[in-house]
Structure 1
Amino acid sequence: MKNFLKLFLVVILISTVSFNVIREEDNDYPFQNPSLSIEARVNDLVSRLTLEEKVAQMLNSAPAIPRLNIPSYDWWNEVLHGVARTPYKVTVFPQAIGMAATFDTTSLHQMADYSALEGRAVYNKAVKEGKSGQRYMGLTYWTPNINIFRDPRWGRGQETYGEDPYLTAMLGRAFVHGLQGNDPKYLKAAACAKHYAVHSGPEPLRHVFDAQASDYDLWDTYLPAFEELVVNAKVAGVMCAYNAFRKQPCCGSDVLMQDILRNQWQFTGYVTSDCWAIDDFFKNHKTHPDAASASADAVIHGTDIDCGTDAYKSLVQAVKEGKITERQIDVSVKRLFTIRFRLGMFDPATMVKYAQTPESVLESEPHRAHTLKMARQSIVLLKNQKNVLPLKKNLKEIAVIGPNADNAIAVLGNYNGIPSKIVTALQGIKDKVGDKVKVVYERATTFTKDTLLVYADVTKQYSLEGQPGIRAEYFNNKELSGTPVITRMETSVDHDWQEGEIVVSDMKAYNFSARYTTDFTANETGEIAFEVEGDDGYRFLVDGKEQINAWTRNRWGARNYKLQTEKGKTYRLVVEYYQAEGKAGIKLRAGNFKKTDFKALANRVKSADAIVFVGGISPQLEGEEMKVNEPGFNGGDRTSILLPSVQTELMKALKATGKPVIFVMMTGSAIAAPWEAENIPAIVNAWYGGQSAGTAIADVLFGDYNPAGRLPVTFYKSDKDLPDFNDYTMDNRTYRYFKGTPQWAFGYGLSYTTFQYDQLNIPANAKVNSTVTVSVRVTNTGKMDGDEVVQLYLSRQQPSFKAPLRALKGFKRIFLKQGESKLVTFELRPQDTAVILEDGTEKYLPGAITVSVGGSQPDAATRASKKTAEGVLQLAEQ
């Protein structure tokens, strides 16, 4: 009887459990069962959603579905060179263009792996704190940017891996593999190849621009990197671009989205629009009458997420009007939930190894060591006349001059996180030489002007209603409306926030505004300048009159107003500020403008044993659709690639001292510096080198690291070398088609040692459409250990078809001790020796191909000095 009762109870229990699995009111569904396949779980989940719920999941900020225990999720996150825009402190690696200069897929893979770990730690922390649905907390990263940097004027070129399709493809593949991990079931994080496709400026036109490219250029230049990431690297996501291509918005392109991406490449991952790109369909491109038509067309073409707007909300209307079917919407929603399931978001944390990632990985020692390694690897030695470098460490005095010498913003690039410590070039040099060497520093100029605002501390002159300081009012909206969340007195206006960081109370740093009010009492009669710097929008009022209006959204940078003062008089100052998204910051500073006397400055530093000028440009000038009011820049792009003339004039004065001048250039794009190339004895390109940039610069300058970075872009001599920016044909663009002589070529970079190449081995009986093995011996013939970047170029010039002048098809970064030799082997894939026909098709043809292997592109000098080994590959029919 007891056994019967036990059996009866077990049966009842099993029946109850089984019933609970299918009872909707108990929220126990097949999609929650980890033992089922992801496909089965996704199909079950989507089948339970209403049309309205499905559509809501197709916005980047997908709301929770409480009845099914589906948490909210924001797809928008960035990891360009380390986790970006998170409120937590993270490791910041060199900007993407700098990482490309390393020519090291292993380092880039490791960087992506470390970044994914930090991203997991951020996500795990967000889940723990109930913030997992917030922007920049998720695991879907909209990186890498694998657009081809076809024109150095493009401000976002710094986010890319340069101008070459092969280099971009190989580095992009390494990034995707590192970020997504190798677990057979779960993604470590989800990468996203952007901006698909034929997208590289101009920034001010990107919402209306119609890019035209031939089939040849499309398949020879613009698509190879995307094909590599989609077909071979299995990237999780793709972002379609703002611009149109052949009169159709990229996110609704028959050619790009349907024919190539979904049909030819069989891409099954998710596609997100670039943010606000769906609105461009009907607001800017004018290809669609309204949001419903645009949204339906985008989804039909395979765009699963509408980022930045709520245009996709009109899909409910579009279904009712017959513009699209609910089944077509199901396809997109299933793709989206498939990614979330692959990230382990619906499984117990104990099942997902990445969910165990601890917070301690953030800025961990291995990560900090790797960002320093990559900063060192990225530095390109462009010139070293009479071995000015490396500098001796027993100097008595060194002068460090220039607008980037102590600029922490420049080293971080754009799309960046914030580390606990940033080392500028000035700090790096100070740390290197210690107290025994006198270091003299002067900023001297802005990037474009010889007049500086010399800041003064006027905080003691601020008061309001009998209280010292500034009254700060913070509003939980962008309109400064309603009752402030908090009102308090502050000593100054000097704030920087990452999006989502706490501003005050529980108010987070997005979609908020602030008003700062104080009375300024003048100490003297004369003039004082007030500078306001903010992101996104701000206004500055004096005695109720608006003096600065930078309220329209976009990165405005700094503006100033000169106030004529009377001693003892009080002036009411008001700064109004709002932030929508992205990084936030608002500053109010005061001081007086002072013009720098270059001759006097040179006279002050002539006692130095060496002068290091740290100039170039900055992400404060070049970047994404930004407001810049400086000569030579427009909307984030550059109108001239020349180094701003004020920097050249200053270097002329410094050179006149007779002391060695070293030009350390920071930039995200190619700079033409003809006078410097001719007259400055040593030039170093340091890019935007990340949080340890200054340490890496000092290591190279003083010889503790032997530079081996290579240029991932062509450095032209002048603006005259450049075709029309709006022209997307590749004729006379990049090293592959440029017929002129550059200042410094793609792949160029010097070392403190020398290398020679010999014993090039090319198979005698190679066949078309087959793998070809090429090897070469490389020897360090100099007096210093160091890295060498071995580069293999192919040149196949036949009048019957179009081809690049030469094309990179292999590279390896190796380390060689003094006197050491290594055999380096390359495996050329069939597509590496194929040709692209005018219609874009790939064809395998017999014939002779010149193979050049060396530390740079081949020329007469490298051949004569044995820095290049060259031979002919003769391909025969199968």
Structure 2
Amino acid sequence: MKTIQKTIFSLAVVIAAFNTNISAQTKSDIPLYKNPKASVENRIKDLLSRMTVEEKVGQISMPLGWPMYTKTGNEVEVSEAFKKTLKEEYTGMLWATLRADPWTKKTLANGLNPELAAKATNAIQKYAIENTRLGIPVLLSEECPHGHMAIGTTVFPTAIGQGSTFNPDLINKVATAIAKETRLQGGHVGYGPVLDLAREPRWSRVEETYGEDHVLNSRMGEAMVKGFQGNNLKSGVNIVATLKHFAAYGAPEGGHNGGSINVGLRSLHQFYLPPFKAAVKAGALSVMTAYNSIDAIPCSSNEFLLNDLLRTEWGFNGFVVSDLNSISGLMANHHIAANSADAAALAINAGLDADLSGVGYGKALRDAVKAGKVSTKTLDTAVSRVLRIKFNMGLFENPYVNVETAKNNVRTKENIDLARQVARESIVLLKNNDHLLPLSKSLKNIAVLGPNADNIYNQLGDYTAPQTEENIVTVLEGIKNKLSSATKINYVKGCSIRDTTNSNIEEAVSAAKKADAVVIVLGGSSARDFKTEYIETGAAKVSAAASGMSDMESGEGYDRATLDLLGDQLKLLKAVVKTGKPVVLVLIKGRPLNLNWAEANVSAILDAWYPGQEGGNAIADVLFGDYNPAGRLPISVPKSVGQLPVYYNSRFPEKHDYIEVDAKPLYSFGYGLSYTTFDYQNLIVENNPSNQSVKVSFDLKNSGTNDGEEVVQLYLKSKTSSVVLPMKQLKQFKRVFLKSGEQKTLTFTLTKDDLEIYNQKSKWVVEHGTYELMVSASSDDVRLKGKIDL
């Protein structure tokens, strides 16, 4: 019996030892890169050691994402195109998988709602992980400038409207909402914010920017980055922010999108780069290169920008991505590369990590590596920067999203309310003679006229997905929502934005004559349609001969030679004003337009930019006094294209007048009116030389009869300096709410960062001298002046 027990015990020991060895062997077989307890850097190193050159190149090649799924009813699966690109190119990134618009040919019928979007991204991740040797999850980048560019999401005002709020805290909330809607559907990287200075209003992409001033852009950029990324990329509701477009993209010669930029080193550092630097310091983890060249060096192969400045000087620790096809553009557009392999080598050697297109790297980069034009170290560095994002987002452990959560938490009531608030805060009151506004809600008859009064897509701006009609509130609908059935509302379109073949101005005039007041909604459009042709980058292909085919006169690719109202719009406006009825002009548009006649002849003017899905309600709130407008212009409005450039912070010497017109803009940066008035008084300036700071305090009082907000702006002007500086420069601003009769003491503190200039020796310094401080209501409306000696 004892012998049997001993044998059984020995056998148990052997089995236990065998199981232990098997367990140990199993653990040792788990690759380090799949161990969530290992450090990210060790996981990256381990994974790189296991990858082939082809797999590495695949990780930094990003083809277009929308062909990568197929939809059948309520189910989504990966497409044969995805299976092919994964097998042949080892794809590790996709761009705009959930995008829908006329370019992608994705509509409300064949595109994806949030529930199906979550299913699509889950299917892509599952197939990639289960059908590749290393099981690396896919990084999905999405367009997110004023909402996730996907069906069923919340559409906020475009960036030029967001800039008009002068309210970074509000824009932080917008970014937080956009990030959550994107991440819940499976997106990881959001393209935005756009930090280009819009110093050329003929340029087609003004609407995507926060305006002409680098300080305003910096504060908005910081707000967007922090809202997008939050404090934890593994949260499931945050995404990586991608700064666009690096650098100096917004002032192309002649307004030609992607054209060359003539800017000096000092202008680059003093104006164009600070928004990017501020956003990098705020933690941005991705930067997109611009199409243009600077001083004859394309941004996509500019080692000074991408390595020396961005990484060495600023400490950027994310990855750089090309704009669509810009690596190929080194050969095809800029003509500095003889072939695609040379173009790939130029880009990656300069510090451009990822290729948005799937063809700029791919075979071209593999050939460059094989030919010795790109080292293994350079390739590994680029790949590691993309892998680092994947590890830090937790995608190796949790690549999937919850379909039900996406279905129920995108375009929530909270986000719709936020869209309305942003739209209200973005509206700029340009003129209000004889206090025509706000209109009375007891009007018996009101005429609502114009091509943008009841047009869904003209209200939303570029980079917007198709929308169901019930999701968007137009101006006509907003007015109907505001007024009772006792008011008769007559709507007549009157004309189109560009097409002059179907105008019905006489009918519009007839409606105006019967009305107690007229609201006429004019402007522009970035609304893409299925008739428009597109080039490979997604920009519209413009033909002057086809000007009557579409309303679109703004948006990527639609550069202008003039800034006049197009089509029969001015003709319609003149005819309506001639009736003698009270007329309110509402502008929905993406860039400054010629408003000379309107300023001289129309009693009240509101600028709403592209106000998003709740624009109609927001405009009605302002028209009828439920909200007191406080938006301020983030870009100057010229009187003529012959004045350009006309931005407020141009350098000395002061501009002199032309023969035909003076040198001043029609409306200056920072301008905007209110239904109440504000008094500024009791300025106190305290200089603290020990820490190079200046404290500025003053009293602000709402001296009018309505509650309202004022946007207080602090400008600085140097009496003398070692380099030529702007005639004035915004340094800080604050949006303040005051009840009627209320007074507050406000304080600004200027720090070393506010006072520094980029001197002759290319150093940031605070120079000794006398400075003038201007507390202002706009760039040309100074209320209090003081001076400091540093």
Regarding TM over 0.5, the answer is: yes
1:416 offset after TM fit, Å? Answer: 2.1
| Alignment of structure 1 residues 614-625 onto 2, 5 Å | 614-620=521-527, 624-625=539-540
Pair 1:432-2:340 in alignment: no
Instruction: List aligned pairs for 1:515-530, cutoff 5 A.
Output: none
Match of 1:596 in 2: 504
Q: 2:21 aligns with which of 4, 15, 25?
A: 15
What is the CA distance between 1:762 and its match in structure 2?
1.3
**Distance verdict in 2 for CA 1:799–1:191, change over 3 Å:** closer
Q: Distance in 1 between matches of 2:49 and 2:688?
A: 58
Aligned to 1:748: 671
2:442: which partner in 1?
394
Q: Cα gap change, 1:301/1:819 in structure 2, threshold over 3 Å: closer, same or farther?
A: same
Secondary structure of 1:337 counterpart: helix
How far did 1:38 drift? 1.3
1:132 aligns with none
Per-residue deviation, 1:806: 0.8
Letter paired with 2:143:
E
User: Which residue number in structure 2 is paired with residue 869 of structure 1?
Assistant: 784
Counterparts in 2 of 1:98-177, with a 5 A limit?
98-123=161-186, 138-177=187-226
Quick one: structure 1 residues 606 and 209, their matched pair in 2 at CA, closer, same or farther if it must change by over 3 Å?
closer
1:19 counterpart letter in structure 2: Q
Cα distance change of structure 1 residues 299 and 832 upon mapping to structure 2, 3 Å threshold: same
Q: Which one-letter code corresponds to 2:448 in the other structure?
A: V
Match of 2:587 in 1: 665
Given that residues 201 and 255 in structure 2 are in contact (C-alpha distance below 8 angstroms), is that contact kept between their aligned partners in structure 1? no
CA distances 1:533-583 after superposition (whole Å, capped 9, x unpaired): xxxxxxxxxxxxxxxxxxxxxxxxxxxxxxxxxxxxxxxxxxxxxxxxxxx
**Residue 78 of structure 1 is aligned with which of 125, 130, 143?**
143
One-letter amino acid of the counterpart of residue 618, structure 1: S
Q: Distance between the aligned counterparts of 1:832 and 1:706, measured in 2?
A: 31
- Change in CA separation of 1:10 and 1:425 when aligned onto 2, cut-off 3 Å: farther
Aligned to 2:512: 605
1:407 pairs with 455, 460, 471, which one? 455
Aligned-residue offset at 1:82: 1.0
Matched residue, 1:710: 632
Kindly indicate whether residue 206 of structure 2 is the aligned counterpart of residue 289 of structure 1. no
Aligned AA (2:138): Y
The equivalent position to 1:322 in structure 2, one of 356, 363, 372, is 372
Paired residue for 1:464? none
How big is the shift at 1:219? Answer: 0.6
CA distance, structure 2, for counterparts of residue 818 and residue 15 of structure 1: 80
SS state at 1:155 partner? coil
CA distance in 2, matches of 1:204, 1:770: 41
> Residue 389 of structure 1: CA displacement?
0.2
Verify: 1:444 aligned to 2:494, yes or no.
Answer: yes
Shift of 1:56: 1.1
Cα 1:151–1:840 change in 2 (3 A) is farther
Do the aligned partners of residues 826 and 432 (structure 1) sit closer, same or farther apart at CA in structure 2, a change above 3 Å counting? Answer: same
CA distance in 1, matches of 2:20, 2:229: 40
Counterpart amino acid of residue 757 in structure 1: Y
Higher fraction of helix: 2
The one-letter code of the counterpart of 1:288 is A
Q: 2: distance between equivalents of 1:312 and 1:207?
A: 24
Which of 690, 707, 712 is the equivalent residue of 1:790?
712
- 2:47 pairs with 1:45: yes
Determine if contact 1:363/1:419 at 8 Å carries over to the other structure: no
Q: List gaps (5 residues or longer) in structure 1.
A: 124-137, 453-594, 724-731, 863-867
- Aligned match of 1:247 in 296, 304, 314? 296
Shift of 1:120: 1.6
Equivalent pair of 1:241/1:251 in contact (CA under 8 Å):
yes
Aligned equivalents of 1:722, 1:98: Cα separation in 2: 22
Distance in 1 of aligned mates of 2:573 and 2:36: 65
Distance 2:308 2:638 in 1: 37
**1:419-439 Cα distance to aligned partner (Å, 9 max, x none):** 551001111111111322111
Contact 2:253 2:259 in 1 (8 A): no
Alignment-derived partner of residue 479 in structure 1: none
- Whole-Å Cα distance in 1 between the matches of residues 564 and 232 of structure 2? 47
Whether the 8 Å contact between 1:279 and 1:309 is mirrored in structure 2 is no
Read off the aligned partner of 2:565 and give its amino acid letter: L
Deviation at 1:340, TM superposition (A): 1.2
Flag the 1:19–1:82 CA change in 2: closer, same or farther, 3 A.
same
Separation of aligned partners in 2, 1:3 and 1:98 = 79
- How far apart, in 2, do the equivalents of 1:388 and 1:6 lie? 95
Q: Distance in 2 between matches of 1:349 and 1:331?
A: 24
| Paired letter, 1:653 | A
CA distance in 2 between partners of 1:713 and 1:379 (Å)? 14
Q: 2:695, 2:747 within 8 Å by CA — same for their partners in 1?
A: yes
- What is residue 529 of structure 1 aligned with on the other side? none
Report the alpha carbon displacement of residue 356 of structure 1 after superposing the two structures with TM: 10
Q: Is 1:182 the counterpart of 2:231 in the alignment?
A: yes
- Post-superposition Cα deviations, 1:332-377, rounded to whole Å, max 9, x if no partner, equal 1110011111222112479x9x999653220111111100000000
Describe the SS at the equivalent of 2:193.
Answer: coil
| 5+ long unaligned stretches in structure 2 | 1-5, 64-90, 93-127, 533-537, 656-662
Task: Quote the residue 2:59 is aligned against.
Answer: 57
Report the CA distance shift for 1:645/1:52 in structure 2 as closer, same or farther (over 3 A): closer
Structure 1 position 233, deviation (Å): 0.8
Partner of 1:196: 246
CA contact (8 A) 1:100 1:171 kept: yes
CA distance in 1, matches of 2:211, 2:14: 71
1:612 counterpart letter in structure 2? V
C-alpha change, 1:109 and 1:207, in structure 2 (3 Å) is closer
C-alpha separation in 2, matches of 1:688 and 1:656: 28
Shift in Å at residue 4 of structure 1? 7.9
Partners of 1:734 and 1:604 lie apart in 2 by 41
Do the aligned partners of 2:712 and 2:733 also contact (CA within 8 Å) in 1? Answer: yes
Paired residue type of 1:440: N
Larger fraction in strand: 1
How big is each residue's C-alpha offset from its partner over 1:670-724, in whole Å with a ceiling of 9 and x where there is no partner? Answer: 112111101100000011001000000000000000000000000111112115x
Q: 1:409 to 1:281 in 2, by over 3 A?
A: same
Q: CA deviation at 1:12?
A: 4.2
RMSD over equivalenced CA pairs, Å: 2.6
Quote the Cα distance in structure 2 between the aligned partners of 1:686 and 1:9. Answer: 77
SS at match of 2:367: helix
The question of whether the paired residues in 1 share the 8 Å contact of 2:526 and 2:553 is answered with no
Q: Displacement, 1:789?
A: 1.2
CA distance in 2, matches of 1:694, 1:317: 54
Are residues 1:763 and 2:680 paired?
Answer: no
2:162 is equivalent to residue 96 of structure 1:
no
Name the CA distance, whole Å, in 2 between partners of 1:818 and 1:652.
37
Letter in 1 for 2:144: V
Secondary structure class of the residue paired with 2:190: coil
Task: Give the Å deviation of 1:596.
Answer: 2.8
CA shift in 2, pair 1:660/1:338, >3 Å: same
Question: Is the Cα contact below 8 Å between 1:208 and 1:284 reproduced in 2?
Answer: no
Q: Matches of 2:505 and 2:789 in 1, distance apart?
A: 63
How many residue pairs end up in the alignment? 693
1:718-757 paired onto structure 2 within 5 Å: 718-723=640-645, 733-737=647-651, 739=655, 740-757=663-680
| SS in structure 1 of the partner of residue 240 of structure 2 | coil
Shift of 1:823: 2.1
Q: Is contact 1:853–1:869 with CA below 8 Å preserved after alignment?
A: yes
The CA deviation at 1:836 is: 2.3
CA contact under 8 A between 1:406 and 1:427: conserved in structure 2?
yes
Q: Name the % identity.
A: 37
- Within 5 Å, give how 1:480-495 maps onto structure 2: none
TM-score by length of 2: 0.83
Partner amino acid, structure 2, of 1:403: P
Paired residue type of 1:105: P
